[in-house]
Amino acid sequence: MSKIFLYDTTLRDGAQREGISFTVGDKLQIVKLLDEFGIDYIEGGWPGSNPKDMEFFHRVRELPLKHARVVAFGSTRHAHIKAESDANVRALLEARTPVITVVGKSWDFHVHHALNTTLEENLAMISDTVSFLKSKKREVIFDAEHFFDGYKANPGHALATVRAAADSGADTVVLCDTNGGTLPGEIHSIIREVKSLVEIPLGIHAHNDTGMAVANSIVALQSGATHVQGTINGYGERSGNADLCVIIPNLQLKLKLEVLQPGQLKQLTRVSKVVAEFANMIPQDSQPYVGRNAFAHKGGIHVDAMAKHVRTYEHANPEAIGNKRRVLISELAGKSSILLKVKENRSQLLKDYPEAKEVLQVLKEMEHQGYQFEGAEGSFELLIWKTLKAYQPLFDLEGFRVIVDKQRREEDFYVEATVKLRVGGRLVHTAAEGNGPVNAMDMALRKALEEFYPELKEIKLVDYKVRVLDGKDGTAAKVRVLIISRNGNKRWGTVGVSENIIEASWIALVDSIEYGLLCHDAPSIRHLKNALKELAWVEENVIKSSP
């Protein structure tokens, strides 16, 4: 197979997703990220459409890109005017990019009902625009919009648009499944036929309206296309575009095509997460390859097999794309799940270590009560330490009180928490106000502990979630509270369960603080960390027998 060229359109097509609006600064940072990653073409936007894109094209010229070529996107000239007189075409040249992508109609239905012109004029619009831009020494890519719908409706005109672009000097013609309604078998047969009739490099641009965008892109490349367009994380209008975070590893790991330089594929998960951050989108845990759950294992039978060999339930090495393997702890877990989960945190138990069975039993009892440890690794680790008698609490609770007061309708709530703790033999009694019960408890707890554990100042609560476990009991239902905390780049979750939301929050909050301090080598608790090291941990190769 010939060299495959990767074309990213996150900054234009991806930005058409609801809720995404990149600033110029965002777009410049993403360009640098994608250039470092090894993308061949980065489509920056439509310079004729808005001032923000023109500013981007002005500033992107200052970036010292190592590999990628920046692309300006726009349409063919309007009907019945010269290309050099068309404002959109002139804006494409003013962007001063080395590559220009021009979109034109290839479906006769659109020519008649969207452009309101004739098929002959449509071909002239394509030819004139491409030849004019080529005369200005630009690399020109022609996007044949709605090509597959157009080919099925009127193959003669659809092919004529491809020939018009090719004969006018286009460097690549990209066949677009703009409505996302074409199936892989159709993609294969149509591209094979087009390739037999024209001598020009072909590309694929697929949308995901039927969930086929990645499959259609792969099939197109296997059928002779050498250029693939998509977006990071599949962002795009409606159901999105083809996801480059899935296409790229499929090409490299499954089809053995070196689309990236050695070592670059390991950046994939980071690229996905960074772009999601700029887009203000929550990363999708179930996303193939780069999702948090892509290599997560929960079922006891699966995990036991994984302990013997990772290939039993993994199609690829997560480290190859910068992801990592995770073992999820739940009521479905077996002893191997417990052991591998401990292994994740650089420590292991022998399979016949008696406390391993006790950990599993305690775990299943807590899950029955409503606990869930899949997003609460911090609470799970504390459970391990407590069961193995390697845990000493950082403080003992004597009592706490939360007051929520509101006197008049127009007044704000007044919230105060009071905690009484015993720390190293000393009794500490503090109070603090907050904007809610959990915030007040957090503030009071920190106020009491920071004198003894100053490292606590570095631990931040970044997310708080409550879930009702059984709605049939209404407001008396048991709830599960999940708290996500952070210290620098490390994040961890802790969980609490109770019929009382304040108690559930307290449990999760205390776990968060204790786990954060125990895991960050705080000088103030080093004597407690030494107790953890006294456990009978063993080397990685000891887990061999069945659970």
Maximum CA pair distance of the chain?
91
In terms of phi and psi (left: phi > 0; alpha: psi -120 to 50; beta: otherwise), the region of 310 is alpha
Give dist(CA 22, CA 39) in Å, integer. 19
Helix (H, G, I), strand (E, B) or coil at 241: strand
- Please report the pLDDT score of residue 487 as a whole number: 87
- Please report the pLDDT score of residue 81 as a whole number: 93
- Please report the pLDDT score of residue 55 as a whole number: 92
Residue reference for tokens 């790991």: 253
pLDDT in tens, 159-190: 999 999 999 999 999 999 999 999 999 999 99
For the chain, which ranges sit under pLDDT 50? Answer: 331-335, 345-352, 527-547
- Please report the pLDDT score of residue 300 as a whole number: 55
Full set of structural domains in the chain with CATH: 5-279 (3.20.20.70), 396-533 (3.30.160.270)
- Please report the pLDDT score of residue 252 as a whole number: 95
- Please report the pLDDT score of residue 2 as a whole number: 77
Kindly state the helix (H) or strand (E) to which residue 45 belongs, with its residue range.
strand 41-45
Angle at which helices 87-94 and 119-135 pack, to 10 degrees? 30
- Please report the pLDDT score of residue 327 as a whole number: 65
